[in-house]
A and B are shown apart, each in its own frame.
Chain A
Amino acid sequence: MKKKVEGRSYQNRELTLGNRIRRHKASYIMIAPYFILFFLFTVLPVLISITFSFTDFNVLEFPDFTGWDNYIRLFLDDDIFKIALKNTLIFAVITGPISYFMCLIFAWIINEFKGKLRAFLTLIFYAPSISGNAYVVWNLILRGDRYGFLNGLLIRFDFMQNAIIWMKTEKYVLAFLIIVQLWLSLGTGFLTFIAGLQTVDKNLYEAAAMDGIKNRWQELWYVTLPSMKPQLLFGAVMQITQAFAVADISIQLAGNPSVNYAGTTIVTHLMDFGSIRYEMGYASAIAVILFLLMVGSNMLIQKLIRKVGK
């Protein structure tokens, strides 16, 4: 992060830390309500999760310290966790980047339109992500009998004779979950890109045309993207975090547990141990892994995007 030049008159280097803190009493009072709650419900829970992950804890009795046992069990003995980890990674590696580029490309195309049409298109693409549990209609599309839309369509046009029970057939489960997740994924990141595209300085385009940019694709690559890098970074965080958290759609569409665990993700595994089996120490270890995966991949991608154009 670049250091900002501060123009404050009262910002004096000779002041001691204590003095500076006293001077900013008003600032601390103003941030206090938020940060007290933030520590209580975000920072502290992360620390507690990490602590619990080294214990055996069933909520009723005082936790027993067990060292790395939970992690050893997780990676060596828990076959379902391996499936969950594999599914989550497949999910993240596919839906993360694809949804990111979907957000970017759709936002870019929408930006070519104007007025009401643009607002309308924005709504169409954004609506699924805020429509609550409307994704349950995918149950009707993917229903396993002839009444399902997909089966009905495929049978009517003679692609097949009998209905396929899509969400109970192992090889289809993950693919359909990915499609539904992509349908849901044009959220905050998408809005950020739409907004970011509008802030690009129009003069840049004219200057670029003088310099020999010939079509809209070159314009996108050489002018638009470099000037909306901050939005690209923020959008990446939104899409990556979302890609790792998939759980509800899996439970609603594939069931929990799903057929041969084909739709099990880290979060559904976490819910299994946290809210059904009450093995809180073990569940905390899963939560810590999830935390490290989410934050780690976010940090990595931030580094990569920052490098673009340097």
Chain B
Amino acid sequence: MARDYMKPRRRIFRKQKRLNRSMAGNVTLFIFMGICAVFMAIPLVMVVNNAFKPLDELFRYPPTLFVRHPSTDNFNDLMVLMSNSWVPFARYILNTVIITGGGTLGHVLVASLAAYPLAKHNFPGKKLLFNMVVLSIMFTYQVTQIPNYLIISLLHINNTYLAVILPAFAYGLGLYLMKQFMEQIPDSLIESARLDGASEYKVFWTIIMPNVKPAWLTLAVLQFQSMWGNTGSTFLRDEQLKPLQYALQQIVNSGPARQGAGAVVTLIIAAVPITFFIICQSSIIETMTTSGMKE
């Protein structure tokens, strides 16, 4: 009887026909979710608005959330700062492209290559190696930071791109997600390729890789996020090698006089990874469905 009354809501709420769902519950959740979403969104809304606020609005009392007279002054300021920088800004951008591009590509390749045997072969030591990778996602990079610096110095790759790129190849989370995703590829698919005489490398390239596209997109996005935030401060000493993130942070940290340009920078730093996520959202969610830990 209540069905006709609820008809227009069908498009918003998932399956009104779904069992055990009450109207009151739906409304409560909708309101609750709305409030939480506003709390989550306000700081990011501020980031966007600040970028377009002219200087007098940035220092207005009482402070306002939304911009009143949007201007592109801050963007122009940033352009001026960029064109006056000691190292040409294009150089920072090139460095970032090399570092994030190299790190992301290498990670996806190296991790996928290792994930395939871990998921589908049965070689001695496999469990031990995988358990070590799982253990490695239980702690953060700060634990290994000091020895890492020494190792990179000993390898004589300090102050080169490799110092930032190489360690990024071997992140644990990427291998873990890739291996879990590959496990769902049916064995029969691999067996039939083997019967046709394909080598393991051929199986990897022609059967496995095309089938795990969502996973490598996910690895790429996750890796990009962490590479993008890397300022390279410990390992890259030469100004010519520093990534964009470093140059941008310098502008943010240079005080109230550059607050306008700093607001634009914060917007750019946030907008890039968010854009990548929007593009790849469905692939990422698909990959995460297999991310669970076995009991």
Contact = CB atoms under 8 A, between A and B. Distances in A.
A106 B40 CA distance: 12
Contacts of B295: 1-2, 229-230, 233, 306
Interface stretch (A71-79, A117-125, A166-174): A117-125
Contacts of B225: 130
- Which of A109, A111, A195, A271 has the largest count of B CB atoms less than 10 A from its CB? A195
Given A133-B269, A230-B294, A237-B137, A199 B289 contact: yes
B292 A49 contact: no
A30 B21 contact: no
Contacts of A130: 225, 270, 273-274, 277
A109 B21 CA distance: 12
Contacts, number: 309
Given A52-B147, A287-B145, A198 B289 contact: yes
B47 to A, nearest CB: 5
Interface string B240-256: 00000100010010000
Given A34-B111, A37-B166, A230-B292, A43 B132 contact: yes
Contacts of A229: 292, 295
A41 B144 contact: yes
A225 interface: no
A183 B40 contact: yes
B139 A290 contact: yes
Interface residues of B, number: 100
B94 interface: no
A24 B122 CA distance: 8
Interface string A194-221: 1110110000011001000111101100
Interface string B152-190: 000000000000001101101101000000000001000
**Interface range on chain A (Cβ under 8 Å from partner):** 35 or more
B2 to A, nearest CB: 16
Majority SS at the chain B contact face = helix
A20 B124 contact: yes
A294 interface: yes
27 contacts: A2-B295, A21-B123, A24-B122, A26-B201, A27-B126, A28-B117, A41-B167, A48-B147, A49-B147, A110-B33, A130-B225, A131-B47, A137-B47, A137-B266, A152-B61, A205-B20, A215-B20, A232-B292, A233-B292, A237-B293, A241-B138, A241-B139, A244-B140, A245-B142, A290-B142, A294-B143, A306-B295
Given A231-B288, A245-B142, 18 more contacts: A1-B295, A24-B123, A28-B123, A30-B116, A30-B201, A33-B113, A34-B110, A41-B167, A45-B146, A48-B150, A131-B273, A149-B63, A156-B62, A192-B292, A216-B20, A241-B140, A295-B138, A295-B139
Interface of A: 1-2, 6-8, 11, 17, 20-21, 24, 26-28, 30-31, 33-35, 37-38, 40-46, 48-49, 52, 106, 109-114, 117-119, 121-128, 130-138, 140-141, 146-149, 152, 156, 183, 186, 188, 191-192, 194-196, 198-199, 205-206, 209, 213-216, 218-219, 228-234, 237, 240-242, 244-245, 247, 267, 270-271, 274-275, 280, 283-284, 287-288, 290-291, 294-295, 298-299, 302, 306
